[in-house]
Amino acid sequence: MPCQNPGCMRKYDYDHIAVYARKRYVEGISTIVLLCNAKTDGEKTLIALASLLDLDDDNIRELKPYCSRKCQYLMFELRDRLKFMIEQERHHNYSALPISRSLPARR
Ligand SMILES: [Zn+2]
């Protein structure tokens, strides 16, 4: 269930963020190219959220793209799901460009 608070990244759907996370990290399209091709602000926001995968936990805590402790917890969970999904898909896509930061070990 997404969060209704404006400014909270949890108002966006995992599936929608995943579309852009896949383009960025599996297909290897740069964030800039994705942003240039985005037609709506909603699309741009989703691309920015997908690029959260480039940040480490401390950077994200500084940005605070969530409204409460509960959303914080759920957001990190969502990010871990995205990382896991990308890791899986990258195994099947050897032409993918290297990710700027190595993905954390699976728990
Ligand atoms: Zn929230």
- Over the stretch 9-57, which tens digit does the pLDDT of each residue have? 888 888 999 999 999 999 999 999 999 999 999 899 899 889 888 888 8
Residue 63 lies in a domain: yes
Residue 58 falls inside a structural domain: yes
pLDDT value, residue 95: 54
Contact 16, 85 (CB under 8 A): no
Total domains in the chain come to 1
Question: Residue 99 has what pLDDT?
Answer: 55
Q: Which residue, chain included where needed, has tokens 């700027």?
A: 100
Q: Which of 40, 3, 34, 2 is nearest to 20 (CA)?
A: 34
Looking at the domain assignment, is residue 29 inside a domain?
yes
C-alpha 60 – ligand 1 centre gap (Å): 15
Residues around the ion ligand 1 (C-beta < 5 A): 3, 5, 8, 10, 67, 71
What's the CA-to-centroid distance between 75 and ligand 1, angstroms? 9
Q: Computed from CA positions of residues 100, 81, 58, 32, in that sequence, does the dihedral angle turn out positive or negative? A: positive
Range of the domain at 26: 9-90
Asked if residue 36 is part of any domain, the answer here is yes
| Residue at 66 is within a domain | yes
- Residue 38 forms part of a structural domain: yes
Measured distance CA(95)–CA(93) in Å, rounded: 6
Q: What is the pTM of this model?
A: 0.75
Determine, yes or no, domain membership for 105.
no
At a CB cut-off of 8 Å and minimum separation 6, what does 84 contact?
106
